[in-house]
Structure 1
Amino acid sequence: MAAHHHHHNLAGERLRAAAQAALEAQGEQWTVMRESIFEALASQSRPSSAYDIADVVSQARGKRVAPNSVYRILDLFVASNLATRVESANAYLVNAHPGCQHDCIFLVCTQCGRAIHVDDDSMTAHLREQATRTGFAPTRTVIEVQGRCDTCATAP
């Protein structure tokens, strides 16, 4: 993995199309419900829970969508690299570059809930190497740093 790499973050229709292509390339179907959940997640500015997404999709569809269904689809999105999970918040963020595989580093604001996604594969590569030396087989590295974002840190 490269230490630092540049992404072209996608949005709107380009993001939806990239997500659909990535999911279908893995042999999965891009269903109406999966598209609804992806679009609801993509519309959020902060990490969102399955309940938050279920509410958004329920309102858009005019009928209740069960959070359990949303959880299953969000788990598929995480496994397919279409979304990432902010572990400490039990919430999800859409991956703005679904074709790129890398470990996740999140800077999580404890005041406003914002999560900033940072890419530094050199840091996580060191952790993976340490794990491998002990005989551990890492599958996913997630680092979360809790604190205050620039907006909250400078607020009176």
Structure 2
Amino acid sequence: MGHHGHHEPQGEALLTAAQAALERSGEQWTAMRRDVFAALTAFEKPASAYDIAEAMSAAQGRRIAANSIYRILDLFVAANLAQRVESANAYVVNAHPGCRHDCIFLVCDGCGRTTHVDDDRVTDALRHTASAAGFAPERPVIEVRGRCAECRAAAAA
């Protein structure tokens, strides 16, 4: 399987897909987990637990602790609802939580936006190489740093 696309639900449909995926993994979809997921979907760039806690605190008019957010984000990563952008120590929502495969992130050093790309040929080759070296890959993380088209165009103008 090579580069491929997905139907990516948005809004309430994405929340429903996330809830179904979390419940399939044996976890409960609580109000707090829903709020964290909804807050994460509102960010255009990868968001840290502190970013999410700040947004939720402002929206709810009460302080939300980042430690609570971290625990939920870890659960979301394990349940395939979110992915961690390692180099930014931040998270992006998985827009297709029903599909589990390795991801490639294109991280713009200009604006910080992160684009998620699926190319199983690349990640399968990486897994094969690791296995051939006697290593059991669990969660390959591929991040490519550079400039997005918008930042390149702005720099050229």
Whether these two folds match at TM > 0.5 is yes
Counterparts in 2 of 1:20-99, with a 5 A limit? 20-99=19-98
Aligned to 1:118: 117
Aligned to 1:5: 4
- For residues 148 and 83 of structure 2, what CA distance do their matches in structure 1 show? 19
- For residues 111 and 44 of structure 2, what CA distance do their matches in structure 1 show? 11
Q: Post-superposition shift, 1:10?
A: 1.1
Q: Post-superposition shift, 1:4?
A: 2.6
- For residues 6 and 147 of structure 1, what CA distance do their matches in structure 2 show? 22
TM-score, normalised by the number of residues in structure 1? 0.97
Aligned to 2:127: 128
TM-score, normalised by the number of residues in structure 2? 0.96
- For residues 121 and 20 of structure 2, what CA distance do their matches in structure 1 show? 28
Percent of aligned pairs with the same amino acid = 64
Q: CA RMSD in A?
A: 0.8
